[in-house]
Amino acid sequence: MLTDHDAQALLNAHHPDPFAVLGLHADADGRLWVRALLPGATAVEVVAVATGQRVATLSARADMPLFEGLVPRRKLRFDYRLRITWDHGGSSLLADPYAIGPLLGDADLHYFAEGSHLRPFEMLGALPMTLGEGPHALAGTRFAVWAPDARRVSVVGDFNAWDGRRHPMRARGSSGVWELFIPAAGVGDRYKFEILGAAGQVLPLKADPYARAAELRPGTASIIAPLPQRRERAPERRVADTRGQPISVYELHAGSWRRHPDGRWHDWDELAAALPAYVAGLGFTHVELLPISEHPFDGSWGYQTLGLYAPTARFGGPEAFQRFVDACHAHGLGVVLDWVPAHFPTDAHGLAQFDGSALYEYADPREGFHRDWNTLIYNFGRREVANFLVGSALYWVERYGIDGLRVDAVASMLYRDYSRPAGEWVPNVHGGRENLEAIALLRRTAEVLGQEAPGALLFAEESTAFPQVSAPTFAGGLGFHYKWNMGWMHDTLAYLREDPVNRRWHHDKMSFGLVYAFSEHFVLALSHDEVVHGKGSLLTKMPGDAWQQAANLRAYYGFMWGHPGKKLLFMGQEFGQPSEWNHDAELPWGLLGQPRHAGIQRCVADLNRLYRDEPALHALDCDGAGFEWLLVDARELSVFAWVRRDGQGREAIVVCNFTPVPRPGFRLGVPAGAGAWREALNSDAAVYGGSNQGNGGQTLVVQAEPATGRGQSITLTLPPLATLILLPA
C-alpha cells in the first residue's frame, strides 16, 4: 500500500514524481499493484486488454479519491484499462496515463537544451497521436512543456474537469521538459498547464507556448490541434521571390478589410473568396498580414502576441487559415506574415513568469521590460527561448507554405538602450549597446530558413542605421533579404505635406533617398503606421483642395513605383481612403462609387501592372546600375527625372512635376539609344481623375539638341501634380 505521505502529496498535487507511485508497480515480493488518483470516481476496476476481463478491483483510501489494489496471479507487466464508475452515474473505460513510458527521445531533449532543435514544435506542445497498432492501438495526446523551475506541472482541460491532481506530468531530467500522454484527450479539447512554482505557489493556469490553436478571446485556453503537414513551396513561388523579380505588397489587417453589416469579422474562408482576387486584380504580387498569431487584445492589431504557433481564432481554425493561404497562392500571390519575436504581453495566462521564474523574459527589467509598449522582452540569449522563436519562424513557412516573414520592431531588438535613458540599460559583455544575443537570434533565423525553406523571404522593419541588415550572414550581415526604407518614407511624406509653393525649399527630401538607396535591399513602405494615431490618411496628408489632394497622391504613387526599391502599400490607401484607419470597422468601400477614388485605385493597379511587366522598373531595384538621374536640381520647378534600367538593354524614364503648374514644351535630356519615347503612364490621365494633360498618343522623338546635361533630348508636356513613365516607342 502507498504510504500516507505519498498519498497526501498526490492529493495535494505536490508529489515530485507521480510516475513512481501511480500506475502499475511491483512491490518487494514481486506482486503487481495498480494505483490511480481519480477525483469524482466511486469505483475502479482493472481490465486486461488481451482478454477484456476484469482482473482486479481497486479500493479507495479513506476520504481520498486514491484507488489502489493488488492484481492477483500476475507477475509480469500487462496492458490494461481502468473501468471507472463516476459519482454522476456514468462510466468510462480508459487507459492509464501512468502505465505509459516516456515518449520524447533523448536526442530531442538534448538538441532542445542546446538550442539547436530545428523543429521544437514537433516535440513540445500537444500532439495528437496513436500508440501501437491494430485493435488495441491507443489514441490520445502527448503533452510536453518546458518549465525547468517548476516543482510540479499538470495538464488540465476538458478531459479531466480542469483538476490539477488528475494528470501531473513526468519531469525529463535536467532538460526542464515535462511530458505526459493522456489517452482521454483529443483534437478540439481545451487545455492549459497548472504549474507549481519553485517557491511552492500554484501559478495562474498557463496557456501552451507551443499551442497550434487557441480559444477566441476572452477565452485563454489552448486547443489540441493536429500538427499541420509540411507544405512544399511551388517552384514558381520561389522564382517570384527572387531579388530581380517585382515585389509589390498589399499590407492588410484581416479584421478590418471587410466586415459583416453587424460588425462581425469575415472568417478565413470568406476572406479567401474575395481578398485574393481583389489584390491580384490590382496587380500586387504579395499579401502581407498584420500579425495573425493568437493575441489577447484586439487593439494591439496582433503585435502583442502570446501564440507564436497558433493562427488566431478570430477568423477560424488552422485548417481555414491554410485554405486562405492556398487561395492566395492560386491567384499568384505570395503570403507574408508579420512576425513578432521582440516582445510579448504580461497577461497572466501567457509567458510571463511562466514557471514562477523569468523564463522567457530577461529577469532584469532594464533588459526585460519594454517601456514603450509595457511588454516583456524575450531573453534572446537563453538557448531554449531562441529555439522557441526560430522554430516559430520555420513553423509558419514550412507548415503553412508562408512565403515570407516581416520581422517587427527589429531596432528594439538590436539595441539594449532602445528607448531607455542613460543608466537604465545593461551594456553587453563588451560594454556596448548592441544586443549581441538578439543579433545572433536574427542571424540564426535567417540561416535556418535559408537551409530548411529556401526561397522564403525575411523583411526587417528596422529604422536605424545598423549596418548590413540585408547582407548575408556569411558576409557579416543580419541575413534579411529586404529592409523597410523608413528614412525614404519620412522624408518624402514630409515633402508632400508642404504646399507646392514651398516645395522648392525641401527639394532634397525627395532626392536624398538615392544617396543610400543601394546600401541595403530596400522596400519602400507606406504602411499602417502612417495612417494611425492621429496621423490621418495618406490622402489627407496632401495639401490643397480635394482635386489637388488626389493629384498629389497619384503623383506620389507614380514617384514611388518608379523609384528603386520594392513596394508596399497599406489597405485602403489604394483608393485614397480619406479617414484614418480604424481597426474596429471595415474599409469605406462605398468610396469606390466616386470617380476620384475609383481613379486612384485604377492608377495603383496600372502602376503595379507596368512595374511587373517592365523589367527596367524592377530588375535592378536594389542595384545602382539600374538608376541614373536625368534631372535632380530643378528645385525652382519642383521637377525630378531619372532613368531606370534592367541591365539587359531595357530602359524607362520617370518624370515628376510636384507643382500644380502644367509645363508644356518642357525639354528633357535623355539617354542615347532609343530614337523615340512614348507615354506608358500619366498619373494625370482622365481615367484616374486627372486633368488629362500630357502626351498621350504622341511619339516623343529624340532630337539632337542638348538639354539638362545630355547631348540629346525630347520635348514633352508635364501635367500638373503628376508623374509620367515613358518607355521606348
The Cβ of residue 590 has, within 10 Å, a number of other Cβ atoms equal to 8
CA separation (Å) from 676 to 57, 279, 700? 97, 34, 5
Distance CA 426, CA 433 (A): 8
CA atoms within 13 A on the CB side of 249: 31
Catalytic residue among 96, 361, 403, 408: 408
Q: Tell me what percent of the chain is helix, strand and coil, each rounded to the nearest 5.
A: 30, 25, 45
**Residue 83, beta-bridge partner list:** 45, 93
Query: Which cell is 426 given?
Result: 545593461
The Cβ of residue 146 has, within 10 Å, a number of other Cβ atoms equal to 26
Catalytic residue among 461, 651, 679, 684: 461
Provide long-range contacts, Cβ within 8 A and 24+ apart, for 154-157. Answer: 154/13, 154/193, 154/194, 154/195, 155/180, 155/182, 155/185, 155/191, 155/192, 155/193, 155/194, 156/191, 156/192, 156/193, 156/194, 156/205, 157/185, 157/189, 157/190, 157/191, 157/192, 157/221
Q: What residue ranges in 133-285 does DSSP mark as E strands?
A: 138-146, 152-157, 170-171, 177-182, 190-196, 222-223, 248-252
Q: Is 638 helix (H, G, I), strand (E, B) or coil?
A: coil
What's the residue count for the chain? Answer: 729
Decide the pairing of beta strands 404-407 and 334-339.
parallel
Active site residue 461: yes
Task: Return the C-alpha torsion angle 257, 259, 263, 267, nearest 10.
Answer: -100
Q: Is 654 helix (H, G, I), strand (E, B) or coil?
A: strand
CA atoms within 13 A on the CB side of 351: 29
Q: What totals of helices (H) and strands (E) does the chain contain, helices first? A: 15, 35
Distance CA 282, CA 139 (A): 48
Report yes or no: 381 and 429 within 8 Å, Cβ to Cβ.
no
* Amino acid type, 246: P
Distance CA 556, CA 527 (A): 15
Q: Which residues are catalytic?
A: 408, 461
